[in-house]
Amino acid sequence: MKHTAPQHNTQELIGQAESFITACYQELGLTEDERDLRLADIREELQRTGTYRHTGEELAHGARMAWRHNSRCIGRLFWHSLDVIDARRAETVAEVAEALLHHMKHANNGGRIRSVITVFRSEEEQGRAIRIWNHQLIRYAGYPGDGEHPRAGDPASDEFTAVCLKLGWQGTGGDFDILPLVISIGGEEPRCFPIPAGLVQEVPLSHPEIPQFTELGLRWYSVPIVSDMCLEIGGIRYPAAPFNGWYMETEIGSRNFGDTDRYNRLPAVADLLGLDRSTNTSLWKDRALLELNRAVLHSFKQAGVSIVDHHTAADQFVRFQEQEQQQGREVSGKWGWLIPPMSPSSTPIWNDNKLRDLQLSPRFVYRKKEADSQQHGAEGAEVKGCPFHQSMKSD
């Protein structure tokens, strides 16, 4: 079957390509002649096919620029170190799944987490777009419960878990079932690929001073690989481009375990600590939240898994701002997403009233509900978070 390129506004796409190539080649230290020759090739390709293909070097630097531009991300100091895997040759769902499993292993790196992005082909072939249904490549299942079985797992995964069950996957019904990969191409039915046992490193939570903390039975996976956003570089969209950094402890302690619409474990932690939950004036939530985040940091460090605390992450963001200023670049930022979810007023970001979202490109595009989601009974919820060290409303 012959696949045709999507219909772009050619002049608009030429403008986007020129803007990206000019910035990219300048940052890479290439000459104006090299830039002009490349732009001539792109214009010819666009006139002939309606689209163009990035070189490997352009793809890699464009992906790094997209991280640097992400207004919701506190961890952009390390944008230049992003490991870019070019997987544009993957054709089948099985090949995509194999590349995703490789990403997990490569990113985890025995606990010394690497920042990695795997980029699959662009939307140039109409009807053949690759879609990864998972919000993150690794995530725990959610079971709403019924009259016979109590609620279990991560409530944020309830809808996607239902899709996985319809596709034939089976979990234990517990709090920490690792969901499978779900992948589709074009209008084909999605396929389910269980993640092999042992590939995912999980960290059991303990506390440096409270031995009984382990009785809570909490654990979390080592690396957050966001997988349902589009990468846009020079007007070309890559709908499948999973990426990861490493965790900031509040993502796990404050949000995943602390939020009432997630695991909601603050009451259990407070009871373990013997705190008075009968009144807000005891500040039991604050005290439980602190000890829960201490447990996350302690456990990840004890397991030898990379993690950063929110104070260090905020200091790193300030260093990133200083470096960008030295390069003559303005930093795009959304204050409400950059301040950490615990003790934000004690970080230098709190008083930064100059941050604004500049909508820079290259960029990560936060995908909303898709038409084909409803066809298969799933909700493609908007991604809420930033790619690396997410100061997240939802992980």
Residues designated as active site: 73, 76, 246, 251
Residue 104: CB partners within 8 Å, gap ≥ 6? 137, 138, 195, 199, 200, 223, 225
Q: CA 350 to CA 255: how far, in whole Å? A: 19
**Contact status, residue 203 vs residue 224, Cβ threshold 8 Å:** no
Residue 247 sits at the vertex; the CA angle it makes with 245 and 252, to the nearest 5 degrees, is: 145
Q: How far apart are CA 163 and CA 377, in angstroms?
A: 7
Select from 154, 392, 87, 155 the least CA-distant residue to 250.
392
CA distance 16 to 346: 40
> Which residues lie closer than 8 Å to 352 by C-beta, 6 or more apart?
333, 335
Q: 3-class SS at 285?
A: helix
Alpha carbons 288 and 253: distance in angstroms, whole number:
10
Question: Across the strands, what pairs with 131?
Answer: 184
